[in-house]
Structure 1
Amino acid sequence: MESERLVYTLDEALAAVGFGKFQGLVLVYAGFGWFSEAIEIMILSFVGPAVKLKWALSSSEESLLSSVVFAGMLIGAYSWGLTSDNYGRRKALLSMTVITSGAGFLSAFSPNYISLLFLRCLVGFGLGGGHVFLSWFLEFIPTLHRGKWMVIISIFWTIGTIFEASLAWIVMPILNWRWLLALSAVPSFSLLLFYRLVPESPRYLCLKGRTVHAHQILEKMALVNQKDLPPGMLISYEIIEVDEEYPSEYTSFLSVAREKISIFRSELPGILLSVVIVDRFGRKPAMTIMFILAWVFLLPLVSSQSAILTTGLLFGARMFSMGTFTVACIYAPELYPTSVRSTGAGVASAIGRIGGMVCPLVAVALTSSCHLKEAIILFEVVIAVTVTCILLFPFETSGRELGDSIAVSDSKQALLADNSSSTPSP
């Protein structure tokens, strides 16, 4: 009938424009956010020993430099999630980048240990919003092969760790730790330079009823990708209640840098493995398989092994652990609807930061007392518990469209399909 208007959903629009140059630019910006976060975390491996020697710190005081960063990330993960869901992805990205870059640069001028602790904690607070980059990028990707592109963005993290180890290798013998801190803040500042080009998430805009603005962004996407949007009008959904649930040491810096570069090379195979299996087998099976393999590689280290075998086993364990972490970073934001996606992923990230806070303290305590066997056993137990939890997850998100407010029921999707089929072609 002439009075009827053609309508299309956001997922149909994203499928129509596909993954093209526009998403490629979004990928680069979000990926650079993860690159910057990896740098600021990796820097702790080099600044800690240098500051310990400079200010005659104890081992526990050195460890605290790492723990306060993760403490800040714990608070920031939840806070930036709320900010993103209530005020928009774009504002959250700006705010947390300003804090991370500013505190990161100022920490290079810390006059004493306490001020350095405070500023690094503030850096951690800003870094806690790293999951917002993932959620923002996720909301521009079509459902098909979404897992693959979410894995690919994780490569930026690995590149960041290798970059920082290389930078420390060059800077520390010539200059000092303050220069390393200052130079490491440059990538975060670069994000601010291109902020004006950052588009808001069209999915977030649809959720807030700003479909006109969302349609303008979709038009830009179609133009850049040289595709056409579906005919008709973009529609967004209000909150609908349905039956199904949807959850919401200083002289050895060169050797340390070489070691770190070698270790983090193992992340790349793990990420590539994730690319291959994440969409083919699903999120839950991929995480389960890779974490079990990490457990298997760690097990022989309970007893003494040759240096070559130990290196190989650690390489494999880290590779599969990184693969699991990568898929988990995809699974979490996919699990929650748009209205609480950043908050939900932020809470999950915050819980993970507890491990980041505790691990430096536990690792120092065990290794300094030569309890390496106990440390390996502890890691094995944690992995076993985690695999059990993964198997108990009730949802698989592979191939599912992203929800907006509350999960769209099968009956509603069927109704949309019926309406679409009954609408006359143009």
Structure 2
Amino acid sequence: MEEGRMSILGGALVTFVAGLLSAFSPNYISLLILRGLAGAGLGSGHVFFSWFMEFVPPSNRGKWMVVFSTFWTFGSVSEAALAWIVMPILTWRWLLALSAIPAFVLLIFIVFMPESPRYLCTKGRITDAHNILDKIAQFNQTSLPSGNLTSDGTNDLDEEFSTSEETPLLSSARKRTTVRKSGFSSFLMLFSPRFFKTTILLWVLYFGNSFVYYGIVLLASELSGSQSKCSSSILLSENVQDASVYINVFITSFAELPGLLTAALLVDRVGRKLSMTIMFIFVCIFLLPLVTLQSNILLTALLSGARMFSMGTFIIANIFAPEIYPTSMRSTGAGVAYAVGRIGGMVCPLVAVGLVTSCHQTAAILLLEALIVLSVVVILLIPFETKGKELVNTIDGVSNSKQVLVVA
């Protein structure tokens, strides 16, 4: 198993084991611990974005990354449908056990994942990178064009690959590449003068984005059928068997699909920053009427619209962050930003949802609106736009803008 896939394997294993064991939790404390471990395992999910991104050409990279992200939405819709079916007739234990199955499926199929050729080049493994590209070409019933497999690195190769003119891809023109920095070194580089400002801005963006997105997700169930009563958290437990809760969550989950379509149409046309700004504005518009009590139908419609555009900003941010960093620190940079975003997701139930359950719905919505405004300001301050830009392998490649993995 390649190093690039080990984090995915480990995350899937932790998620599956902890998710399954949580269905058998004997008490509340053990349930919290196991669900926390399952969530920690999900943290490896950001690697999928960096991995898939390195196979896609820059001209339509944004569109294909959005298409790739639709499977997140399919998972959300499937989970909402599963809860709708299981909870009224069985118990939450069945829901948790069944929800662990996808992680088990991932453990089976991960062995079929090819390593990123770009990543292999940064490790100096030109032969392996060539072999994977050749397999991809064969699968697509085509052949690789003649040319050089190059990297913008500067260190000696661990191995060389040389071919004759008859073979489709030649060795690196420089016969040099960069050995990937250790995880700790990559982490420290996030705070170098070249990346410090962008790193901090991305962290704020991810925090605000996750807070708003998960706030909308949680409010779909928290506000459902409860606004007229406006009581404490007991209200949610009283309505847990009410099918309308699961129906509303199911509908709002489906709303992510048109949001992804909108993101796909915008991201490669107007750029990442403007796309996120436009979609954040629409999230703000849909949330604003919720400062006052609304009917259940209007509530569902407004939350669906807000979730539609919030998912778009969420996914574009997940495209934007890996594009900013070079391959040598791409997973680290995007992963740390993703982790900071998870903090926003953790704080949200304690703050925004807590305000709703304590009969402060207006304050909760205004808090979400404030974070949207902050996120838009942060987007405007980020000094990069990555639309149509080639990914780079090394830190030096960020400044000299040299193309990598070039076939010429």
TM-score (ref. length: structure 1): 0.73
Decide which of 299, 320, 324 is 1:331's aligned counterpart.
320
- Paired AA for residue 263 in structure 2: S
Identity percentage of aligned residues: 57
Give yes or no for the alignment of 1:280 onto 2:195: no
CA offset at residue 310 of structure 1? 3.4
Inter-partner Cα distance in structure 1 for 2:31 and 2:405? 56
Inter-partner Cα distance in structure 2 for 1:125 and 1:259? 27
Structure (1 or 2) with the greater helix fraction? 1
Q: Deviations over 1:36-79 (max 9, x none)?
A: xxxxxxxxxxxxxxxxxxxxxxxxxxxxxxxxxxxxxxxxxxxx
Q: Which residue number corresponds to residue 63 of structure 1? A: none
Instruction: Map residues 214-363 of structure 1 onto 2, 5 A cutoff.
Output: 214-239=129-154, 245=194, 249=237, 251-363=240-352
- Paired AA for residue 158 in structure 1: T
CA separation of 1:387/1:254 partners in 2, compared to 1, >3 Å: closer, same or farther?
same
Q: Which residue number corresponds to residue 165 of structure 1? A: 80
SS at match of 1:145: helix
- Paired AA for residue 274 in structure 1: A
User: Aligned residues, how many?
Assistant: 332
SS at match of 2:395: coil
CA offset at residue 308 of structure 1? 3.9
Decide which of 19, 23, 37 is 1:104's aligned counterpart.
19
SS at match of 1:153: helix
Q: Which residue number corresponds to residue 170 of structure 2? A: none
CA offset at residue 363 of structure 1? 3.0
CA offset at residue 222 of structure 1? 0.9
Instruction: Map residues 8-87 of structure 1 onto 2, 5 A cutoff.
Output: none
Q: Deviations over 1:289-319 (max 9, x none)?
A: 1101111222222234444443332222221
- Paired AA for residue 53 in structure 2: L
CA separation of 1:103/1:306 partners in 2, compared to 1, >3 Å: closer, same or farther?
closer
CA offset at residue 223 of structure 1? 0.8
CA offset at residue 116 of structure 1? 1.2
Q: Deviations over 1:107-142 (max 9, x none)?
A: 111111121111111111101111011111111112
Whether the 8 Å contact between 1:207 and 1:339 is mirrored in structure 2 is yes
Higher relative CO (Cα under 8 Å, sequence separation at least 6) belongs to 1
Q: Which residue number corresponds to residue 42 of structure 2? A: 127
Q: Which residue number corresponds to residue 44 of structure 1? A: none
Q: Deviations over 1:154-199 (max 9, x none)?
A: 2111111111111122222332111111111111101111222111
Whether the 8 Å contact between 2:152 and 2:393 is mirrored in structure 1 is yes
CA separation of 1:110/1:410 partners in 2, compared to 1, >3 Å: closer, same or farther?
closer
Whether the 8 Å contact between 1:239 and 1:406 is mirrored in structure 2 is no
- Paired AA for residue 178 in structure 1: R
Whether the 8 Å contact between 1:151 and 1:274 is mirrored in structure 2 is yes
SS at match of 1:144: helix
- Structure 1 vs Structure 2 CA RMSD: 2.6
Q: Which residue number corresponds to residue 41 of structure 1? A: none
TM-score (ref. length: structure 2): 0.76
Q: Which residue number corresponds to residue 143 of structure 1? A: 58
Whether the 8 Å contact between 1:171 and 1:179 is mirrored in structure 2 is yes
Whether the 8 Å contact between 2:83 and 2:95 is mirrored in structure 1 is yes
Inter-partner Cα distance in structure 1 for 2:371 and 2:123? 40
Give yes or no for the alignment of 1:376 onto 2:365: yes
Gaps of 5+ in 1: 1-83, 421-426
CA separation of 1:211/1:415 partners in 2, compared to 1, >3 Å: closer, same or farther?
closer
CA offset at residue 245 of structure 1? 4.4
CA separation of 1:307/1:131 partners in 2, compared to 1, >3 Å: closer, same or farther?
same
Whether the 8 Å contact between 1:287 and 1:327 is mirrored in structure 2 is yes
